[in-house]
């Protein structure tokens, strides 16, 4: 276990000034009026009726009536913790972002882990993708690395996100979750939309049932563009490597824990931190040259359904994360935190990955309704630790009393209290001047077309036991479909990946083995196998 941040650490408990303890000599109303009795409503005689003039009854119940906010449209079930990220300084050659580049710099973070499909009250140990979202409160503003525990995604273009999520979430008529009941719509979608194949293999592997948030890798998935102090650029993929290694639950364990302790992962995170057994991860980057075709070793780096095998581009450690403090209030912190892939700091840029491009719109948009208007950046957990001077005004839940003249620019009337800092052009986030060109088309590049090779690479990199787990997962999940035609179609997809796996699943389902075009030999990638001692030596 690592110790809490030292007394003199720059990483302080940032929320200390806003903690409300709800203690005092007297109980009061929300208006501060002392209350002698909160057990009985004001009635016309002991047998009633209750009187409208009972402001305490009405205020108490009204506030209670509005305690809930909408859960996230995806990743509704999650839990989180604060921590400290310490940079090794090894990223200085590729990025000017101070929190990554400066050796020893400590930055406070909040990490939230989640399942994608279940509601807020669903069980932790279901088969699903896990979110791995980290907000870095850097001195240059907030940077959010909004990743998953799998390095690829089901779709290549964000315009398909509503489709995959509609297909995978609960039944619209019965609201029975898809997981572990009837899977027809999910398997219908992924068997028709074969760019999902690689991700489906990850989801059906042991990666879909992590043992703990402590034993998961995290991935930024997309390729990002880093910019160093000299203005040179590289293309990178972000990786979180757990110090405790990568470990999963056995399928039977997932079923038992979902019943016996549906909060299995959440409880372990909170209890471990309370016990001083902190979760630790190393942040690493795969660095690829910023080439004209944005490809590396034949892999299109804008395609979020593809990985770059670590043998081709090793993961280079750039810093360490220790999660060492539990939130005080689930609603105020874990529920109200708002991650956004567009929260970037100088030195980190996005690429034209069409999945990433759509995400840039989605997060802020959904948070406007989830968190009730445009001022959620003022919520304590979302406040940057850098000074904010944004010229925004008013709106629902505005909690700042802005002073001075209207915030418009240019402005010659502002005086000392005005909104205009000297020299807007000095420093700040300057977007790299990359040329943009092309005909307007609704199309993918040809280099996105191969949906099967990396699924085979992944499957054939696993140990025999892990491969058996994949076959068992496909068999179990497909056996839950009502429609035989969907099983048959999905077997056809598997047949275009690996013949041996297809035969196992077909046998399990009692169906004939379809003819396919399985991927010819690929060189397995040792880094993809999970139970072969995947322990990452954190520095
Ligand atoms: C939430 C990851 C793709 C829309 C999340 C969260 C994570 C995540 C980790 C939970 C954040 C939290 O803990 O609060 C990813 C990854 C993706 C991906 C890794 C692909 C590589 C997309 C796409 C869209 C999208 C394509 C939409 C076009 C959303 C929305 C939320 C969300 C609306 C809820 C945010 C909120 O209510 O605060 N995503 N996501 N995601 N994601 Fe994604």
Ligand 1 close to Cβ of residue 73 (< 6 A): yes
363 Cα to the center of ligand 1, angstroms: 7
SS3 533: coil
Q: How confident is the model at residue 15 (pLDDT cuts 50, 70, 90)?
A: confident
337 Cα to the center of ligand 1, angstroms: 13
Is the pLDDT at 420 greater than 70? The verdict is no
pLDDT of residue 180: 47
Is the pLDDT at 532 greater than 70? The verdict is no
Residues 224-264: pLDDT tens digits?
Answer: 999 999 999 999 999 999 999 999 999 999 999 999 999 99
Q: What is the mean pLDDT of residues 20-36?
A: 91
Return the best residue to mutate from 361, 363, 367 for the ligand 1 pocket (most ligand atoms within 8 A of CB): 363
Among candidates 151, 31, 163, 5, which has minimal Cα distance to 84? 5
Is the pLDDT at 423 greater than 80? The verdict is no
Within 10 A of 310 (CB to CB), how many other CB atoms are there? 15
Q: What is the mean pLDDT of residues 464-482?
A: 95
Q: For tokens 């001022």, name the residue.
A: 375
Would residue 391 be called left, alpha or beta, if left means φ above 0 and alpha means ψ between -120 and 50 degrees?
left
Ligand 1 close to Cβ of residue 381 (< 6 A): no
Residues 258-280: pLDDT tens digits?
Answer: 999 999 999 999 999 999 999 99
Percentage above 90 pLDDT, the chain = 84
170 Cα to the center of ligand 1, angstroms: 17
Residues 59-109: pLDDT tens digits?
Answer: 999 999 999 999 999 999 999 999 999 999 999 999 999 999 999 999 999
Ligand 1 close to Cβ of residue 340 (< 6 A): no
38 Cα to the center of ligand 1, angstroms: 42
Ligand 1 close to Cβ of residue 366 (< 6 A): yes
pLDDT of residue 1: 36
Is the pLDDT at 16 greater than 90? The verdict is no
pLDDT of residue 179: 54
pLDDT of residue 195: 98
Query: What does the mean pLDDT of the chain come to?
Result: 92
Return the best residue to mutate from 334, 339, 381 for the ligand 1 pocket (most ligand atoms within 8 A of CB): 339
Q: How far is CA 506 from CA 185, 288, 455, in A?
A: 20, 40, 18
Q: What is the mean pLDDT of residues 507-526?
A: 95
Is the pLDDT at 171 greater than 50? The verdict is yes
354 Cα to the center of ligand 1, angstroms: 14
| Residues annotated catalytic, as ranges | 75, 148
Q: How confident is the model at residue 425 (pLDDT cuts 50, 70, 90)?
A: low
pLDDT of residue 209: 96
131 Cα to the center of ligand 1, angstroms: 8
ipTM of the complex: 0.94
Cis preceding-peptide flag for 410 (omega within 30 of 0) = yes
Percentage above 70 pLDDT, the chain = 93
CB-based contact 328:127 (threshold 8 Å): no
74 Cα to the center of ligand 1, angstroms: 7
Closest atom, ligand 1, to C-alpha of 222? 21
Specify the pairing of strand 233-242 against strand 224-227.
Answer: antiparallel
**Nearest CA residue ID for atom 7, ligand 1:** 131
Q: How confident is the model at residue 534 (pLDDT cuts 50, 70, 90)?
A: low
pLDDT of residue 63: 96
Return the best residue to mutate from 221, 359, 367 for the ligand 1 pocket (most ligand atoms within 8 A of CB): 359
- In which element (H, E) is residue 138 found? strand 130-138
pLDDT of residue 51: 98
Residues 114-154: pLDDT tens digits?
Answer: 999 999 999 999 999 999 999 999 999 999 999 999 999 99
Ligand 1 close to Cβ of residue 508 (< 6 A): no
Closest atom, ligand 1, to C-alpha of 365? 33
Q: Greater confidence, 432 or 21? A: 432
The DSSP string of 58-90 is HHHHHHHHT---PPPSSS-SEEEEEEEEEE-ST
Q: Which residues contact 124 (CB under 8 A, 6 or more apart)?
A: 77, 115, 257, 258, 262, 263, 264, 265, 266
Closest atom, ligand 1, to C-alpha of 132? 9
Ligand 1 close to Cβ of residue 148 (< 6 A): yes
Helix, strand, coil tally for the chain in percent (to 5): 30, 15, 55
Return the best residue to mutate from 109, 130, 131 for the ligand 1 pocket (most ligand atoms within 8 A of CB): 131
Closest atom, ligand 1, to C-alpha of 304? 21
| HEC letters along 455-476 | HHHHHHHCCHHHHHHHHHHHHH
Ligand 1 close to Cβ of residue 122 (< 6 A): no
Residues 343-401: pLDDT tens digits?
Answer: 999 999 999 999 999 999 999 999 999 999 999 999 999 999 999 989 899 999 999 99
Q: What is the mean pLDDT of residues 465-475?
A: 96
Is the pLDDT at 482 greater than 80? The verdict is yes
CA 226 to CA 94: how far, in whole Å?
A: 6
pLDDT of residue 426: 64
pLDDT of residue 308: 98
132 Cα to the center of ligand 1, angstroms: 10
Ligand 1 close to Cβ of residue 370 (< 6 A): yes
Contacts made by residues 444-450, CB under 8 angstroms, sequence distance 24+: 444/156, 444/157, 444/354, 445/300, 445/302, 447/295, 447/300, 447/303, 448/156, 448/195, 448/300, 448/303, 448/305
Ligand 1 close to Cβ of residue 131 (< 6 A): yes
Closest atom, ligand 1, to C-alpha of 221? 21
Within 10 A of 453 (CB to CB), how many other CB atoms are there? 17
pLDDT of residue 192: 98
Is the pLDDT at 416 greater than 70? The verdict is no
Closest atom, ligand 1, to C-alpha of 147? 19
Closest atom, ligand 1, to C-alpha of 219? 19
Q: Greater confidence, 414 or 535? A: 414
């Amino acid at each position: 276990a690592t110790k809490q941040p030292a007394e003199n650490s720059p990483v302080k408990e940032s929320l200390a000034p806003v903690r409300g303890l709800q203690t005092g000599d007297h109980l009061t109303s929300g208006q501060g009026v002392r209350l002698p009795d909160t057990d009985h409503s004001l009635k016309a005689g002991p047998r009633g009726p209750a009187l409208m003039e009972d402001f305490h009854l009405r205020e108490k119940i009204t506030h209670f009536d509005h305690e809930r906010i909408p859960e996230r449209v995806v990743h509704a079930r999650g839990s989180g913790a604060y921590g400290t990220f310490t940079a090794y300084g090894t990223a200085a050659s590729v990025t000017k972002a101070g929190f990554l580049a400066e050796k020893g710099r400590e930055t406070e973070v909040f990490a939230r882990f989640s399942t994608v499909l279940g509601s807020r009250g669903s069980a932790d140990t279901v088969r699903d993708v896990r979110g791995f979202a980290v907000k870095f409160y850097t001195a240059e503003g907030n940077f959010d690395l909004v990743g998953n525990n799998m390095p690829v995604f089901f779709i290549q273009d964000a315009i398909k996100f509503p489709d995959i999520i509609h297909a995978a979430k609960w039944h619209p008529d019965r609201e029975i979750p898809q997981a572990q009941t009837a899977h027809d719509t999910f398997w219908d979608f992924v068997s028709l939309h074969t760019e999902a194949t690689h991700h489906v293999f990850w989801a059906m592997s042991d990666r879909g049932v992590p043992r703990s948030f402590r034993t998961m890798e995290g991935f930024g998935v997309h390729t990002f563009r880093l910019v160093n102090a000299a203005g040179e650029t590289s293309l990178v993929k972000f990786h979180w490597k757990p110090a405790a290694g990568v470990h999963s639950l056995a399928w039977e364990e997932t079923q038992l824990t979902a019943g016996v302790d549906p909060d299995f992962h959440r409880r372990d995170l909170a209890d471990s931190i309370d016990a001083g057994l902190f979760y630790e991860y190393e942040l690493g980057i795969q660095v690829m040259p910023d080439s004209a075709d944005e490809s590396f070793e034949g892999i299109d780096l804008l395609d979020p359904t593809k990985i770059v095998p670590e043998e081709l581009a090793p993961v280079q450690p750039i810093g360490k994360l220790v999660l060492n403090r539990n939130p005080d209030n689930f609603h105020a912190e874990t529920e109200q935190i708002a991650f956004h892939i567009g929260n970037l700091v100088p030195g980190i840029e996005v690429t034209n990955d069409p999945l990433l491009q759509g995400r840039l719109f989605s997060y802020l948009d959904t948070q406007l309704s989830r968190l009730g208007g445009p001022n959620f950046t003022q919520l304590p957990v979302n406040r940057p630790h850098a000074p904010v001077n944004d010229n925004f005004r008013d709106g629902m839940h505005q909690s700042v009393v802005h002073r001075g003249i209207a915030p418009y620019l240019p402005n010659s009337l502002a005086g000392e209290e005005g909104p205009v800092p000297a020299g807007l052009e000095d420093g700040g986030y300057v977007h790299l001047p990359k040329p943009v060109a092309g005909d307007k088309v609704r199309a993918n590049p040809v280099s996105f077309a191969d949906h099967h090779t990396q699924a085979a690479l992944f499957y054939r990199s696993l140990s025999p036991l892990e491969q058996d787990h994949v076959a068992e997962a496909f068999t179990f999940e497909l056996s839950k479909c009502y429609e035989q035609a969907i099983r048959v179609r999905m077997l056809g997809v598997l047949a275009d990946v690996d013949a041996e796996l297809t035969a196992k699943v077909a046998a399990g389902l009692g169906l004939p083995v379809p003819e396919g075009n399985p991927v010819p030999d690929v060189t397995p990638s040792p880094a993809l196998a999970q139970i072969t001692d995947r322990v990452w030596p954190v520095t």
